[in-house]
Structure 1
Amino acid sequence: MKNQEETLEEWCRTLLQAFELEDTQIDIDGVLSLAGVAAHSVVRPAAPLTTFVAGLAAGLAAGSGQADQKTSMDAAMALARKLSKEYTAAEPGTAESGAVGSGTAETDAG
């Protein structure tokens, strides 16, 4: 019986082959880590949404020639991680809500 890591690696290869992206290197642990940060910092369903949007952004950047694939993926995942950590799921009307991406949010956690 395959363990989770083996299953994820096999599934990733299957997806890459289906999309004709066999030469693309995926940092599975990095993607899962980003998903975990989004799930715990925002809400659980933010995990797949965050990883999808980061992947889309990376693909568009690489496809337009802004950067190579690895650089594009690393940058997109880093930005998504940063935004996820800064996000506050505070109730509307509190001082913390709406601070995402404004550059003015202060966080206590490091």
Structure 2
Amino acid sequence: MADDTPRTLPPEALEAWTEAVCAELSLPREDVSVALILDLARDVAHGVARPAAPLSAFLAGLAAGRRGGSFEEVEAAVDRVSRLARSWPGS
């Protein structure tokens, strides 16, 4: 049977999902920038390949967490990965 579930989320559903995941992982919601991560995913998907986007977001988060996990560390890791993706051969 085909799955007819929509694969895009309206903004309010994305916000609800973000809040639910933050609660599940005991993360303060104010520490999560959806726009920052979506921009990273866009840069990687367009500059490298679509499947590299979620992997890159995970790796940026892992790197930031290992460096202390502050929002500044997240921003720095995302910036580095985005710059790498934008300079990737063929992008």
* Contact 1:41/1:85 (<8 A) preserved: yes
Query: Counting helix residues as a fraction of each chain, which structure ranks higher?
Result: 2
Displacement after TM superposition at 1:24 (Å): 4.8
Counterparts of 1:20-99 in structure 2, within 5 Å, are: 20-22=26-28, 24-63=30-69, 69-89=70-90
Displacement after TM superposition at 1:23 (Å): 5.3
After TM superposition, the runs of 4+ consecutive aligned structure 1 residues lying more than 4 A away are none
Q: Which amino acid aligns with 1:60?
A: R
Work out the number of aligned pairs and report it. Answer: 83
Bigger relative contact order (CA 8 A; separation at least 6): 2
Displacement after TM superposition at 1:22 (Å): 2.7
Q: Which runs of 5+ in 1 are unaligned?
A: 64-68, 90-108
Cα RMSD for the two superposed structures: 1.8
Structure 1 SS opposite 2:68: helix
Larger Rg: 1
Q: Which amino acid aligns with 2:44?
A: A
Aligned to 1:4: 10
**TM-score with structure 2 length normalisation?**
0.81
